[in-house]
Chains A and B, each alone.
Chain A
């Protein structure tokens, strides 16, 4: 698809800069109060970037805003900001700005690379209806966002931060969101390809494996010996496998075209 599009990459880079400043403030002794403010600013700038992606073709396509990995930093910052508003464990919750920064930097490179390969915007079509695609990717991305945040807080908990025990709630949220996304995905797959589970798609097998992993984690607390700390270590270490299987093959495929 040859589309002449111009995107405000400056907004994405500025958002990443704000996440960097937010991380520096979080780590500094005197400027901790400024960390959430920079996070909020980064969230605003990233929202602008995503909005521009959605309107890049002259036709508003919300599916392009949520189906790219560029949505992840937005999802991370929205979730952390919301949690900051609702909790008194602000310091622990705020620590996730470091995770957001890591993702934002990697995704800024990835977005640029995809744009250079003309693989950033996909046209809508009858079997990619905007409503289904948007709903599926929005919920699925938020499930991965909550899971990776769970991994981050699990790391803190495993290292002795008792306040971060709420990582368990994030895993539950990831399980519920991912289950909802799989229902939406199954309906979309049935309408588009006549099957609720594509038995020849590696993507569907990987999703099933991830769902079962979340279910497995939820069962571990009933086994003797699986303390909260052990479960935290499991959640954190699983993040590498989940990241690899969910993102790397598709990124490589997109680059290859």
Chain B
């Protein structure tokens, strides 16, 4: 018998090697390491768009709001449309994090971090548009009830003020939710990072060590934040919808607006999660964590909310006809066949008709198809807000004051810049923080391991 080669004998007498780090950690932390050229190109493009928009904004401050396309009677234009669009996008994050948490839908663990980050950046993007829209952004604090020499207070009966409270609360709670969820993952990163990143994570992880008292308080906090965020998310877009519904403009003054806007927000938010997570999964090879099952579940949500949104479109037209109110009927007739007919048909096609393809399982599991569809839904949802706001204002009660609004180049530039702003922050987040909640993925994998072991006994 030939003796075993010397090196294998050496391997036998050496002590067992230290157990390597958990595979989940290695896979998910690897997303944060290194940045290929493509990443820098994307980040550069996003930054470029953001700065161009910044330049346009400075120009607008210098010249005044006249450079926006506002023309009598339309004084709510692309800025407000884009504000509503981004607030809507922000809704999926909380829905996935909070509502699915309460329903104990464990599949959310793979996508909730990305969705929460998206929420925070979308709210921050949206909030800027209020300042851009009012023109003199430095007077934005007027909307807050602060003591002043004039002894005046804000008007709490105005939906715009409800909006202030809703949006600031939503931004605060979304940031807290994201951060609380991040703390255990920051500790994971802290234990493995070096250099300046170690300092960053050490500070942000707050000395987390996963002791029983910490997990107990953490669990309870996440549960309570979910319970609080669930009614909040439903209230925020309801309040945004009341900005319109409380006004007496034909096409706006309807009670259906709150549920219609909330469904639309969830619809567009899920589409945006798909738009972001499909490339992220592909580029960073996260197929083992974010599976087709996750995408299929999200497309089911998209299908459901698309049906609600489609029903709302139909109900609006039906009620306009059935009510017998002439301004209402005219407004809706002109939506579909008036000067803005292209926007209306884009909205109906992208939001009501195309998502019906998701009834087919083949298409629900076809990732390239989902990506294209999600982009189309984003476009459709932007046009939905455009249709509601612009057609409503341009065709009010008195035909003598009807007018046509055409978006100007500064407005479109700032709209493009908002995507740059959003993408810049999302791309930076991607490299600094775990985009998939590592501790929550382990919760699932360790449970599975425990069940498998118990099965053997």
Partners in one complex: no
Mark A residues whose CB is within 8 Å of B: none
Mark B residues whose CB is within 8 Å of A: none
